[in-house]
Structure 1
């Protein structure tokens, strides 16, 4: 899983990318009369259908063969690369995506139950550290795989992303057949075994990592605003291992220092983003915690979370339209800066948490697609742009992870679980509210939100 902390901690090298084609070609703009691609535009509904269905293949066709869990990455040109590395958070996104697959008839209900049972059994037998799973897991053995030297144990944030999915599984199947009820109970039991309060060290803040060899040496506190809000809500929701409200106030909210009076392009930032950017961090900050947690009516003493995520998205988009670095094709149909694969200065493939303060001319399709509940019209424009360039951008598991028209239309022909899963989920939340409704109806989640002082 690749998040804000990965920029600080990742020691993984990626294989080289490549330029696509001998030179830049002006892409087709949806709705124009001049269509050099010959691609017939889709309706908005068909566009969302296609994006969900093609992206779903990542979690169905290209999942780990024996565990059913989501692989960390998939490179079509090198499918055996790290083929046994599965990701905890990405697997949580995969659980939610399978529910969408059932609802959209990509798979049958029976197929979905069979795959989910396999995944939950794998998670039950996998290594856990005071209830938390590791960032990476060996898909064959269930053993923890080191993400870095000291990150070889429990990862509380990855676990929270997984738990979001487990809670949705519980709610989706709890009133079904005996088999479905048993699946719901297994999901409920798995998440309730996480010892959230142990990860505070009695310090009124949650800590990201614990290692059986190095303890809390990484010493990374979960403070906002970034992608980890969901961790505090789930920790407060836990029936047996709950945290105190003061852990949220002093830890996540830093005694109120989380609030911000900054505005950009007329949009208030609402909360101070980790990393100190006055233009907001990578867009995944406003995606990962809100796959199940519905921000639409969510408020607390620190802010209005719907305004937060909508404004964050609009600032990111407006920055791309302003395009201060004059990158080719940035604009209303081509925007979205977030963590993804990236282009190194020598043209090879790397990784970066793109944002207005870290703009490398690389657009990540997941950024605008996942923002569709916040900016539906604007996000659909990007999706149509991607589709009109499908000969370069659409691969075997949805749109590729990153591209740059500026650099000879460079494309990284690869995928990451954490970038593919939220696309399926957030499109569905925009269309039907499926995952938002499932997560928010959970009684433990409601108790956690109440405990922390949220209105929802």
Structure 2
């Protein structure tokens, strides 16, 4: 394991920690030659200064335009249904619809479409969502209790199949787009007023309390055939937006103890990985999606106040840790390095076990991929969305990585709508594929673009340029209410006229953690898997 220095604390704390450790050692105990030395690396006592923002090279103009065009061209203009993926599998994803509603104004702001075009596409979508049949029936319905099924028929907008769940998190992604539309279209025209009114209606219909089957946590979803999914949103992941939207609801709000219980389940995910101490989740999408709509810079809940950072800095650390993992490349995948990295949920070549460098390795089609403290899966599949969508967190590493992947692989992974979903240079096996294609001496390349991956790219580039999505969502009273009921404060949540508090640690926690950090980091280093232990395991 690499433990790169992240120390920013005063020297006195370093000396105090070393002194304490020395005083705790029993002098009569003989030294052990093979005992690993303890590395003392202190956590940050305060948030770092704002990063200097590099200028985006022209490549990002092209990526942003092509990725916007994906939504504009592939969405059903008659009802606003946005594809889950293209060109295969012709059904809609409600999460993609949420991204699409956010992307249309980006197109207008860049001069790619008119405001009237954006208004009409948005209004068509919202009217359809309002009027489509809903109810508890197994077929012929788009949703129930204000929630929508994960996948809908592109033409009729109804549940695509019986394997499709009524999804709490995908409804949350949809509602983020709905609330974005509500806050963006502020004009006095009848159409823009109607957008605001329908958006309000859709959000108010969501019965978040109904999804609390094991109060105060919120379940992942429901099936009309067998009831609620027996898994709740726990640990650190994309479920954050479910709780924030549920807390902000004016009609069916959950209680603040839902957030307290949600963050209580974080503890197993905090630790040190490749030189970064942060709240870990292997795939990068969970460090990105909430940040599409919420500017987490300088705002903190109780958990982050106690740990001395915010969720934005946490995502930065996750990005840097994953890059370091790729540089280390413990599984020896082809092409990995400082400018070729990016693990997230994505397409892959096939569900199969093949020999790689004399060892059996598992490969998968679509699944979550990532590198993290306690959960990791890596089969050599790289997803450009994981890299590009981290532009706001770590531009100094994302920009060169994006440029290099485009330069080296762009002739076969970059096309009409930007980057194809993923590629795997290490997969060179003559077997039937689930999707995508094989290229001689280049490995496997995806054949599809995936809506949510495209959405994260274009929205995060927009946020990097001028904080566009963030600034719109800061005006939304429901989102603000959700954050405040979750205990967030500071930064842009500070009431007008008041000076924002200086983000810092809870003093008692800071002292304890500063003095005990060497021991905790040493324990974390011991817990890191060896390259052999990092081999992918059979999924349960």
Match of residue 50, structure 1, among 62, 75, 94: 62
What is the SS of the residue equivalent to 1:262? strand
TM-score by length of structure 1 reads 0.82
Unaligned runs of 5+ in 2: 1-54, 133-141, 305-309, 355-362, 428-440, 491-540
Mean Cα deviation higher: 59-68 or 163-172:
59-68
1:385 is matched with 404
Match of residue 134, structure 1, among 149, 157, 164: 149
Q: For 1:234 and 1:146, how far apart are their aligned partners in 2?
A: 27
Structure 1 residues 90 and 258, CA, compared in 2 at 3 Å: closer, same or farther? farther
Structure 1 residues 202 and 285, CA, compared in 2 at 3 Å: closer, same or farther? closer
Answer yes or no: is the 8 Å Cα contact 1:174–1:185 preserved in 2. Answer: no
What is the SS of the residue equivalent to 1:263? strand
TM-score by length of structure 2 reads 0.70
User: 1:176: Cα distance to partner?
Assistant: 4.3
Q: For 2:202 and 2:171, how far apart are their aligned partners in 1?
A: 11
Match of residue 229, structure 1, among 230, 233, 240: 240
Q: For 1:455 and 1:108, how far apart are their aligned partners in 2?
A: 37
Q: For 2:104 and 2:162, how far apart are their aligned partners in 1?
A: 26
Mapping of residues 171-182 of structure 1, within 5 Å: 171-182=183-194
User: 1:139: Cα distance to partner?
Assistant: 2.1
2:78 is matched with 66
Greater C-alpha radius of gyration: 2
Structure 1 residues 65 and 173, CA, compared in 2 at 3 Å: closer, same or farther? closer
Cα shift readout 1:405-446 (whole Å, capped 9, x = no counterpart): 334322112111111111000111111111111112211211
1:23 is matched with none
Structure 1 residues 312 and 349, CA, compared in 2 at 3 Å: closer, same or farther? closer
Q: Does 1:400 align with 2:400?
A: no
User: 1:368: Cα distance to partner?
Assistant: 0.6
Structure 1 residues 88 and 405, CA, compared in 2 at 3 Å: closer, same or farther? same
Mean Cα deviation higher: 380-389 or 99-108:
380-389
1:368 is matched with 387
Q: What root-mean-square deviation, in Å, do the aligned CA atoms of Structure 1 and Structure 2 show?
A: 1.9
Cα shift readout 1:31-60 (whole Å, capped 9, x = no counterpart): xxxxxxxxxxxx834121111111112211
Q: For 2:458 and 2:150, how far apart are their aligned partners in 1?
A: 22
2:256 is matched with 245
Q: For 1:224 and 1:349, how far apart are their aligned partners in 2?
A: 24
1:118 is matched with 124
What is the SS of the residue equivalent to 2:234? coil
Structure 1 stretches of 4+ with a deviation exceeding 3 A read: 255-261, 345-349
Unaligned runs of 5+ in 1: 1-42, 76-80, 274-279
Answer yes or no: is the 8 Å Cα contact 2:392–2:461 preserved in 1. Answer: yes
1:265 is matched with 274
Q: For 2:276 and 2:396, how far apart are their aligned partners in 1?
A: 18
1:8 is matched with none
Answer yes or no: is the 8 Å Cα contact 1:320–1:330 preserved in 2. Answer: yes
Q: For 1:145 and 1:204, how far apart are their aligned partners in 2?
A: 30
Q: For 2:72 and 2:315, how far apart are their aligned partners in 1?
A: 30
Q: For 1:351 and 1:393, how far apart are their aligned partners in 2?
A: 17
Q: For 1:402 and 1:101, how far apart are their aligned partners in 2?
A: 25
Q: Does 1:425 align with 2:459?
A: yes
User: 1:191: Cα distance to partner?
Assistant: 1.5
What is the SS of the residue equivalent to 2:267? coil
What is the SS of the residue equivalent to 1:55? helix
User: 1:330: Cα distance to partner?
Assistant: 1.0
